[in-house]
Amino acid sequence: MDNDDAKAAWPLLLTAHAVLVQDIERRLAAARLPALSWYEVLSALEDAGGRLRMHELADRVVLTRSNLTRLIDRLAALGHVTREKDADDRRGAYAVLNDSGAQLRARIAPVYLQAVAELFEDRTGPAERAAMARTLRTVLSGSRERD
Amino acid sequence: MDNDDAKAAWPLLLTAHAVLVQDIERRLAAARLPALSWYEVLSALEDAGGRLRMHELADRVVLTRSNLTRLIDRLAALGHVTREKDADDRRGAYAVLNDSGAQLRARIAPVYLQAVAELFEDRTGPAERAAMARTLRTVLSGSRERD
DNA sequence: AAAGATTGATATATCAATCTTC
DNA sequence: GAAGATTGATATATCAATCTTT
């Protein structure tokens, strides 16, 4: 019944997320690559042209400030990113993507994209995914307006 | 374009999950209630009639064995669940829901369900959610067959 | 040897408190 | 005092190794 399906949507979203992310992380670890969160931070930086303020980066990857600080600590310790103070507003700091970080992202990408293709895209039609995307966008637009 | 929407589906699934779960956890903490993972374990036990083998429970809530062991440790320390050895196969153990655990679940439920209603259900139509549920089910059926 | 579950060591995440600059 | 970011203390999660029973 359609009504039962509607009720199952949220639990299924939770379960599908957990199962797929678990599988993706397993594949990354098997390829001796870092976790998904690293990829997301490196990608967000690359998409933004290589540098972002910490709080802006935290928003984009949906991490708390504190968690992002720690993640950037680890990336910086390995030379993948650098911190730079904002010259205008000296309270703020930028996270800056290094060559090493860009290369790391490029090594993660094929494994990650292959996993998403196999686990998610090969099992769904484009129209289904498009519909899901539109639904999720309306959900998010509600959550982001009151920021 | 439909094709762009389809490409955005997986990133949106990740982001929507992160945003909604973060908000739900915030509400639970504000109400001095334990985290979502506790609710899911307690609910899985209740749905199963009050008792489940550890590995079966781990599968249902999508946690590793080790993580579930730790979670049950904490729940047992507070008296919400009890461990019982399986009499037939003495390697195995059951997690058993106590009254205290059932009551805790009942206190979490309204806050959790209210959050899901506001953040997810109020922002989507039943038909959209039903379609999403069916899509996610096909995704999951692929992942679970090879267990 | 393999299944079921747990443990020790370690990594990561979280909260409240802190520091600096606006 | 509030924004931006970090830190210390603590909780939770993860991996490999272990123990027990089949």
Mean pLDDT of chain A: 95
pTM of the model: 0.94
So what's the pLDDT on residue B79?
A: 97
So what's the pLDDT on residue B144?
A: 72
So what's the pLDDT on residue A55?
A: 97
So what's the pLDDT on residue B1?
A: 66
So what's the pLDDT on residue A17?
A: 98
List chain D nucleotides near protein: any atom < 7 Å from a Cβ.
3-8, 12-17, 20-22
CB-hemisphere CA count at 13 Å for A49? Answer: 3
3-state secondary structure of A52: strand
Task: For chain B, list residues with pLDDT below 70.
Answer: 1, 145-147
Which residues of chain B form beta strands (DSSP E)? 51-53, 81-85, 93-97
DSSP state of B56: H
Cα diameter, chain A: 59
- Chain B within 8 Å of A47 (Cβ-Cβ)? no
For residues B105 and B46, is the Cβ–Cβ distance under 8 A? yes
pLDDT digit string, tens, across residues A75-86? 999 999 999 999
Cα distance from B78 to chain A (closest Cα, Å)? 26
In the numeric block, the tokens 């806050």 are attached to B111
So what's the pLDDT on residue A147?
A: 46
| Residue at A67: amino acid letter | N
pLDDT digit string, tens, across residues A120-145? 999 999 999 999 999 999 999 988 76
Other residues' Cβ atoms within 10 Å of the Cβ of residue A86 = 12
- Chain B within 8 Å of A29 (Cβ-Cβ)? no
List chain C nucleotides near protein: any atom < 7 Å from a Cβ.
3-8, 12-17, 20-22
Mean pLDDT in each 10-residue stretch from start to end of chain A (147 residues)?
87 97 96 97 98 98 98 98 96 98 98 97 97 97 71
In the numeric block, the tokens 């991490």 are attached to A63
